[in-house]
Amino acid sequence: MPELPEVETVRRGLAPVMEGAVITAVEARRPDLRFPFPNDFAKRLKGVQIERLERRGKYLMGHLSSEECLIMHLGMSGRFTIDEFHERKSRRNQPTGALAETGNPKHDHVVFELKSARPARVVYNDPRRFGFMDIVPAAEIDSCKHFALMGPEPLSNYFSAASLNDALSGRSSPIKAALLDQRNVAGLGNIYVCEALYRARVSPRRKAGSVAGKRGERLYGAIIDVLRDAIEAGGSTLRDFAAADGALGYFQHRFDVYDREGEPCRNCKSPIQRIVQSGRSTFFCGQCQR
């Protein structure tokens, strides 16, 4: 499931063909993904220029010349593929390993035709259809249902050790759950929460409200570092696999604890443990994380 770094990587992959391009046609091949497409979806996008492509949490936002904003969420399995027409032949359907796996065309649900110096077709593929797209007026971006309750963007100035401390203070839920709650901080999911807690040496079971002082500062720093490292890893993956076939989606990062149950902690060598919290696996080191 894509988290902030994966979505940022997708944004960076799409930006060169989307920013500044005019949408000449949109084909939505179904009435819905996770949710129905908004009314007149294709009509509202046709002939409109995408001025900027930004990211907020796990959402992509295309700022449009029509004073609307195209909001896109990848859900669990969404991915974009870029076909560039100036290529001698389309590079589609030449998968080069798991990372570059192109989706089955029967799951191609949305096709954007783009006109610019780099004319392209951008295809959204989503086998499980947990992704969705929406269009909201530019003036209502911050107050729309997707963002109204969303917490600070972790790599922005709105997020700090103090703001994290405020968000956690008094909370009796486990810190793992508090970090997954997008109202406290945007963009984190199961993977990067596990990784940040490990790096901060904080137990996932600890009460959120007790993660304060030095421990809170360590956690703040760990969140930033884990995300920055993953975005950097995504950037290098992008160079490899977008170059190979134009598919943008996921990358396999070297994790310290995530999905490493039973393997030795990279710090103390004790086996990484797995527990289930709120129905989801948590991976951690019982020795290093307190």
Question: Residue 182 or residue 287: which is nearer to Zn ion going by CB?
Answer: 287
Min. distance of Cβ 133 from Zn ion in angstroms? 42
The answer to whether residue 201 forms part of the interface with Zn ion (CB under 5 A) is no
Min. distance of Cβ 266 from Zn ion in angstroms? 8
Query: Which residue of the chain is nearest Zn ion when measured via CB?
Result: 265
Min. distance of Cβ 267 from Zn ion in angstroms? 5
In whole angstroms, give the CA distance from residue 200 to residue 203: 9
How far apart, in Å, do the first and last CA atoms of the chain sit? Answer: 27
Looking at the annotation, which residues are catalytic? Answer: 2-3, 58, 280
86 burial (CB, 10 Å; 0-12 / 13-18 / 19+) is: exposed
In whole angstroms, give the CA distance from residue 71 to residue 52: 12
Question: Residue 165 or residue 267: which is nearer to Zn ion going by CB?
Answer: 267
Min. distance of Cβ 173 from Zn ion in angstroms? 24
Min. distance of Cβ 265 from Zn ion in angstroms? 3
In whole angstroms, give the CA distance from residue 7 to residue 56: 9
In whole angstroms, give the CA distance from residue 41 to residue 24: 13
Binder among 24, 96, 165, 287 for Zn ion (CB under 5 A)? 287
* φ, ψ for residue 52, nearest 5 deg: -145, 150
33 burial (CB, 10 Å; 0-12 / 13-18 / 19+) is: buried
Binder among 70, 133, 196, 285 for Zn ion (CB under 5 A)? 285
Question: Residue 191 or residue 265: which is nearer to Zn ion going by CB?
Answer: 265
For residue 247, the cross-strand partners are 81
Helix (H, G, I), strand (E, B) or coil at 140: helix
The site for Zn ion, by CB under 5 A, has a size of: 6
Q: Which two tokens stand for residue 82?
A: 């870029």
Q: Are 190 and 180 in contact (CB under 8 A)?
A: yes
Question: Residue 18 or residue 257: which is nearer to Zn ion going by CB?
Answer: 257
Helices 213-245, 161-168: inter-axial angle, 10-degree rounding:
110
Q: Which two tokens stand for residue 157?
A: 């100035």
Question: Residue 135 or residue 222: which is nearer to Zn ion going by CB?
Answer: 222
Binding mask 235-274 for Zn ion (x = CB under 5 A): ------------------------------x-xx------
Question: Residue 53 or residue 285: which is nearer to Zn ion going by CB?
Answer: 285
Min. distance of Cβ 91 from Zn ion in angstroms? 43
Q: What residues make contact with Zn ion under the rule CB under 5 A?
A: 265, 267-268, 285, 287-288
